[in-house]
Amino acid sequence: MSDFSPVIAAAVAFIVTAALGLPALPMLKRLKFGQTILEDGPKWHSSKQGTPTMGGIIMVAGVLLSFSITYAFSAIAQTAFANERMTYRFSVTLAGVALAVAMGIVGFMDDYIKVVKKRNLGLTAKQKTFLQLLVTVAYLVTLYLIGVRTTWIPFVGEISVVSGAGILFWIIALFFVYGFVNAVNLTDGIDGLASSVTLVVCCVFMLITGLTGMASANTASAAFAGACVGFLVWNIHPAKMFMGDTGSLFLGGAVVGLGFSSGKPILLILVGIVYLIEALSVMIQVSYFKKTKKRIFKMTPIHHHFEMCGWKEEKIVFVFSAVTLALGAIAVLIVAL
């Protein structure tokens, strides 16, 4: 029979995430878990002061419930998703979901400190870095123990990561995972941006894993995509709720997890180009300012630069998502060839 697991996963994640926003929104307001807007951000963002944050919790719940329900259905119907459960590929996918949840927990800790202290600081840089690196190392060790022994390179194929120069893969992967998670975090700066861009990324990996017959990774991609759409119900401009670091780090872990689950993490450089540009804009701005005391961009991350240039938030979300879609299409073609 046809495997409807991805459809069920996306639908359940969307419904659960969107529905949980109904009780979560008044609850977060009642607990006064409102966002504190940075003083050096765009002045017009001051109107967002107090908007409930930590909404990423509903995405985490949506994905976990979706994955569980879909697995139960698949086990009963004996579809490809459940039939993969004892395989290496299912384990890699499950590790990716765990990575997303673990990063979300780090984000929750950061958000909790912010809202309790009523300041936009949260965990110190050292604390946050330590926890993220700890999760990253645990994830990579898990991948090795599961049996990851190769990685895919476009137009080359599979190469060993346990012998010769391939061993460097694990060192590169450490910075790759940590860097991408934080790049997604930086993308969360205007209404609907991180959710929309990540939705496109998830859909791209749905196509890639569908083409390559990876049922569990395909289902996970659908679950994360559904959660993004569900959260957009509350986060599209003007946002009624922010995801906070709980959501942005969760999505960062999800993006990385999907990359590795597909067996083609290198494609994140193409599919996740918006995240990379966001992070690079900050690095370039800081480095240039330290040397010259001048700025290249009006404000970073770069979405704020476009805001300062007069772009509306909706236009930024549309353009950034369109760029992601265009490069994602190229990634799909590379895999399909």
Q: What is the mean pLDDT of residues 213-231?
A: 97
In this prediction, residue 120 carries a pLDDT of 59
Angle between helices 215-235 and 5-30 (to 10 degrees): 30
pTM of the model: 0.94
3 state DSSP class of 49: coil
Q: Which tens digit of pLDDT belongs to each residue from 228-258?
A: 999 999 999 899 999 999 999 999 999 999 9
How much of the chain exceeds pLDDT 90, in percent? 78
Token couple for 234: 């509350």
Instruction: Give 1's pLDDT tier (boundaries 50, 70, 90).
Output: very low
**Contact status, residue 264 vs residue 209, Cβ threshold 8 Å:** no
Which pLDDT tens digit goes with each residue over 94-150?
999 999 999 999 999 998 887 766 665 678 889 999 999 999 999 999 999 999 999
User: Looking at the predicted structure, is the pLDDT value of residue 176 above 80?
Assistant: yes
Most confident range, picked from 2-16, 71-85, 156-170, 266-280: 266-280
Q: How many Cα atoms sit within 13 Å of 194 on the Cβ side?
A: 34
pLDDT in tens, 17-63: 999 999 999 888 887 665 555 555 555 555 566 688 889 999 999 99
pLDDT for res 53: 85
Q: How many helices (H) and strands (E) does the chain have?
A: 13, 2
Question: What is the average pLDDT score of the chain?
Answer: 91
Q: Which amino acid is at 277?
A: I
pLDDT level of residue 79 (50, 70, 90 thresholds): confident
